[in-house]
Amino acid sequence: MTEDDFITLVRDELGLPLANDELDSELDGVVSWDSLHILRLVAAVERETSRRIPIGRLLADRSLRAIYDRVNAAVAA
């Protein structure tokens, strides 16, 4: 999954108006982010990739980049 795919998914699934460079922002700084968003995002990635992603560890991540890296690692595994 490319960075662009990931950003598009975040926009589509969560309806968040996210700029491309916000992949590196802290989550607290991203517009109206809440903790349910991570879970919904993972559910969407799983639907798209048919791969299961370990959520428990993701919840501690502080940036979309970190989430993206974990997601990619899980999808590539």
Partner 1 sequence: MTTVDDAPAVAAPPAGPLDRLRKLRAEGRLAAQYRTVASLLAELAHGENALTDLARAGQLLSRLDPDEAVRETAAAGSPVDTITVAITGHSTLGNLTAPLTAELARHGIVLRPRLSDFDAYLRDLQDTGSLLYTSGADLALVVLDPQMIFDELPKPWLVEDLERAAAAKLAQLDALATRYVEHGTGTLVLNTVPLLRAHTHQLVDLASRNRLAIAWRELNIGLLRLASTHSRVAVLDLEPLIAAGGPVTEPRMASYAKTYLGDELLARYAREVAHLARTLRAQAKKVLVLDADNTLWDGVLGDDGPDGIAAATTFRGEAFGQFQTVVKQLGSQGVLLAVASKNDQDNVLQVLREHPDMVLREADLARVNANWSPKDGNLRDIADKLNLGVDSFVFVDDSPFECGLVAASLPGVAVVRLDEEPALHIEKLLADGWFDVRELTAEDRARTALYRTEAARQDLLDSAGSMEEYLGQLGVVVTVARVTEGQVARVAQLTLRTNQFNLTTQRLQPADLRARLDDPAYLVLSIRSADRFGDNGVVGAVFARRAGDGLHVENMLLSCRVFARGIEQATIATVLAQARAEGLAAVHASYRPTAKNKGVRGFYPSVGFATAAETAAMDGGELRFVHDLAELPAVPAHLHLDTELERPPS
Contacts with partner 1, residue ranges (CB under 8 A): 12-15, 34-36, 39-40, 42-43, 47, 55-56, 59
To partner 1, the closest distance from the beta carbon of 21 in angstroms equals 19
CB of 66 to partner 1, least distance (A): 17
CB nearer partner 1, residue 55 or residue 75:
55
Q: Which residue's structure tokens are 């992603």?
A: 53
In the bound state with partner 1, the residue whose beta carbon lies nearer, of 24 and 57, is 57
DSSP symbols for 41-75: HHHHHHHHH-----HHHHTT--BHHHHHHHHHHHH
25: left (phi over 0), alpha (psi -120 to 50) or beta: beta
User: What are 22's two structure tokens?
Assistant: 């916000």
Give me the least distance between CB of 50 and partner 1, in Å please: 14
